[in-house]
């Protein structure tokens, strides 16, 4: 079922979400189905459970050639639960991000260029991937939601934050 997405300013988006303790349950499968329906309905690249008001460490992401992210390529559809991220080097890069909880806006955010993420899917199967570039960026953005962090909190230069129909998105900081 498509759920409404909480918007920036709602204090539920600032909470530290709780770990999932039981996998492969009807409740968890229903949550993942709701998140998937909501993300696709809004044509998003990812969604975290707190964005639909559920206080659990569950994110989903993935897309194929999303027109909102023309240079992003493909990221496989992934359900990631209780994630842990480890950067693979000190290298960071800045690029534009948007968020379904911050509609109409974009900002340039520094992220680790390459990282390893581990966690579980909704069946309790382990996930262990090393990724880079936009895939790494999406994972970091979504997992930030689980710690109550929205991307505008990470913007270093506020000249690179604004409305997506006004900003020059080819500009790099």
Q: Cβ of residue 96: shortest distance to Ni ion, in angstroms? A: 13
Shorter beta-carbon distance to Ni ion: residue 23 or 148:
148
91 part of the active site = no
Shorter beta-carbon distance to Ni ion: residue 23 or 131:
131
List b or e across 30-63, with b for residues whose CB sees 16 or more CB atoms inside 10 angstroms.
Answer: ebbebbbebbeeeebbbbbbbbbebebbbbbbbb
Shorter beta-carbon distance to Ni ion: residue 7 or 23:
7
Where along the sequence are the contacts to Ni ion (CB under 5 A)? 99
How many degrees, rounded to 5, is the angle at CA 80 between CA 26 and CA 17?
A: 80
- Residue 75, classified by CB atoms within 10 Å of its CB into exposed (0-12), middle (13-18) or buried (19+), is buried
Q: Cβ of residue 45: shortest distance to Ni ion, in angstroms? A: 9
Shorter beta-carbon distance to Ni ion: residue 26 or 67:
67
Q: Cβ of residue 141: shortest distance to Ni ion, in angstroms? A: 6
Q: Cβ of residue 100: shortest distance to Ni ion, in angstroms? A: 6
- CA–CA separation, 117 vs 131, rounded Å? 8
Identified catalytic residue from 21, 91, 132, 142? 142
What contacts 111, CB < 8 A, 6 or more positions away?
Answer: 92, 93, 94, 95, 136, 137, 140, 141
Q: Cβ atoms within 10 A of the Cβ of 173, count?
A: 12
Q: Indicate the residue whose CB is closest to Ni ion.
A: 99
- The catalytic site residues sit at 142
């Amino acid at each position: 079922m498509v759920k409404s997405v909480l918007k920036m300013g709602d204090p539920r988006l600032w909470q530290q979400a709780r770990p999932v303790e039981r996998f492969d349950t009807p409740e968890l499968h229903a949550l993942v189905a709701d998140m998937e329906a909501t993300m696709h309905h809004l044509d998003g690249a990812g969604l975290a459970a707190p964005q639909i008001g559920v206080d659990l460490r569950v994110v989903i992401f993935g897309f194929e050639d999303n027109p909102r992210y023309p240079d992003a390529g493909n990221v496989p559809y992934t359900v990631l639960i209780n994630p842990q991220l480890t950067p693979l080097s000190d290298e960071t890069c800045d690029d534009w991000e948007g968020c379904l909880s911050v509609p109409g806006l974009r900002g340039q955010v520094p992220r680790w260029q390459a990282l390893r993420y581990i966690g579980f899917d909704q069946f309790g199967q382990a996930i262990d991937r090393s990724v880079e570039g936009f895939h790494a960026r999406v994972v970091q953005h979504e997992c930030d939601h689980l710690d109550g962090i929205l991307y505008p909190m990470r913007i270093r230069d506020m000249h690179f934050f604004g409305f997506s129909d006004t900003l020059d998105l080819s500009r790099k900081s």
